[in-house]
Copies of this chain bind each other. A is one copy, B any other.
């Protein structure tokens, strides 16, 4: 008997819960609404989706999403919300990530039985999950490359997002590496545009990084955005490598799972996953994907770093959601080796370090700040120092204000960005 993949959903429906859940299992396996020739009992038994569990949550008067057709075409009186777990045989798809997503998500979002439908999580048999590429570097491998073990990897994003020539970018990076950063990334809005071809940009930027390494022994990681078609990504990956580059970045939703798999296959450096577009898949609570489900596809495909926003970020995500996402990145799927670095960014300064550390219980993360470094009143070097000091304090359990008493950069940052506990 084939092992089974379990998928958990939150749904809302005007139908009896079992009927709605069975329509989901049917749509994603036997897949038709009427009995058709050839669909024998034996095939059903072997391949059908199965309703494993239904937990009723609450009831509402109005359908959350429109387009649902209540039973018997009469206006429904109530819509029940529930958590539904389905299972599907592994054999229905084999070891195949794009088709895994087709099976557990696919047409479900359009089912007329449902006025709310969100994929919350996926549970894969370990033997099955372990057949996917998974991260090549993950948390440990990334730490080794940057030689930072006992605190977050501190980084920044090259700004402005668009318009800088390769030489201007390298000039900025020259200053940033001198400031003591571990990690620098491109913005997602600059990949390989005519005004800054990766070939020239990575050459210029790695020049700055290597000169800094010659002076200090420290090699900063640079996530060069190579988002593009597959041929371009593979070419640019090699260009990055030839320039001594040590990381590539990809906008995962815009490249897609198959493109990412093609890159992972050839990649010799960590893949920094930018999740822009994620809001379209997640922002409505009864539609799309929870991060727990979403990130699994990309981790199995082999990314090494996943963005999670940050506490008191400038976007619309709550702190609770950010922390939940970061914990998920640090939770094994099939083995300890498939955990990935959660990447905190957006509005970050030292002010969020204590709560971030307290909530996560570890410092296995990347902590990116833009204005939190460049906007420090005493310049970028003080900006980086204040972040490191903030994390030292957080990890030692010392209140920031107290630690700031004899750490000037932190004190100045609190005056400038503070109070502690706010975003910037």
Query: Please, which residues of chain B bring their CB within 8 A of the CB of A69?
Result: 316
B193 in contact with A92 (CB, 8 Å): yes
A101 at the A/B interface (Cβ < 8 Å)?
yes
Q: Which residues of A, 59-88, contact B by the 8 Å Cβ criterion?
A: 65-69
B39 in contact with A160 (CB, 8 Å): yes
**With contact pairs A98-B255, A110-B317 given, residues A32 and B160 touching in the complex (Cβ less than 8 Å):** yes
Query: Complex formed: what's the CA distance from A111 to B315 in Å?
Result: 5
B191 in contact with A375 (CB, 8 Å): no
A65 in contact with B277 (CB, 8 Å): no
B168 in contact with A107 (CB, 8 Å): no
B31 in contact with A316 (CB, 8 Å): no
Query: Please, which residues of chain B bring their CB within 8 A of the CB of A98?
Result: 191, 227-229, 251, 254-255, 259
Query: Complex formed: what's the CA distance from A283 to B284 in Å?
Result: 10
Q: How often does this chain occur in the complex, in copies? A: 2
A262 at the A/B interface (Cβ < 8 Å)?
yes
A91 at the A/B interface (Cβ < 8 Å)?
yes
Which one, B30, B94, B97, B193, contacts A94 given CB within 8 A?
A: B193
A371 at the A/B interface (Cβ < 8 Å)?
yes
Which one, B91, B106, B227, contacts A277 given CB within 8 A?
A: B106
Contact with B along A363-400 (1 / 0, CB 8 A): 00000001100110000000000000000000000000
A262 in contact with B29 (CB, 8 Å): no
**With contact pairs A102-B227, A194-B91, A371-B32 given, residues A287 and B276 touching in the complex (Cβ less than 8 Å):** no
Query: Complex formed: what's the CA distance from A156 to B46 in Å?
Result: 24
Chain B CB count within 10 A is highest, among A46, A255, A285, A316, for: A316
Q: Please name the residue on chain B nearest to A288 by beta carbon.
A: B280
A189 in contact with B102 (CB, 8 Å): yes
Chain B CB count within 10 A is highest, among A278, A314, A317, for: A314
A96 in contact with B256 (CB, 8 Å): no
Query: Please, which residues of chain B bring their CB within 8 A of the CB of A91?
Result: 193-195
A47 at the A/B interface (Cβ < 8 Å)?
yes
Smallest distance from the beta carbon of A299 to chain B beta carbons, Å? Answer: 16
A295 at the A/B interface (Cβ < 8 Å)?
no
A1 at the A/B interface (Cβ < 8 Å)?
no
Which one, B107, B188, B233, B265, contacts A107 given CB within 8 A?
A: B188
A142 at the A/B interface (Cβ < 8 Å)?
no
Query: Complex formed: what's the CA distance from A192 to B375 in Å?
Result: 53
Query: Please, which residues of chain B bring their CB within 8 A of the CB of A140?
Result: none
B283 in contact with A287 (CB, 8 Å): yes
Smallest distance from the beta carbon of A4 to chain B beta carbons, Å? Answer: 13
Smallest distance from the beta carbon of A290 to chain B beta carbons, Å? Answer: 12
Q: Which residues of A, 312-335, contact B by the 8 Å Cβ criterion?
A: 314-318
Query: Please, which residues of chain B bring their CB within 8 A of the CB of A28?
Result: 189
Query: Complex formed: what's the CA distance from A36 to B38 in Å?
Result: 66
Which one, B32, B251, B265, contacts A159 given CB within 8 A?
A: B32
Smallest distance from the beta carbon of A13 to chain B beta carbons, Å? Answer: 12
A231 at the A/B interface (Cβ < 8 Å)?
yes
A229 in contact with B251 (CB, 8 Å): no
Query: Please, which residues of chain B bring their CB within 8 A of the CB of A318?
Result: 67
Chain B CB count within 10 A is highest, among A32, A163, A285, A317, for: A163
Query: Please, which residues of chain B bring their CB within 8 A of the CB of A103?
Result: 189
A314 in contact with B277 (CB, 8 Å): no
A112 at the A/B interface (Cβ < 8 Å)?
yes
Query: Please, which residues of chain B bring their CB within 8 A of the CB of A161?
Result: 29-32
A92 in contact with B162 (CB, 8 Å): yes
The 9 closest A-B pairs by CB, nearest first: A256-B256, A109-B279, A258-B259, A67-B316, A31-B161, A110-B279, A43-B163, A106-B276, A47-B163
CB-defined A-B contacts under 8 Å, sample of 15? A28-B189, A30-B161, A37-B374, A39-B160, A46-B163, A65-B316, A67-B315, A67-B317, A98-B228, A98-B251, A98-B255, A99-B228, A101-B254, A106-B189, A255-B256
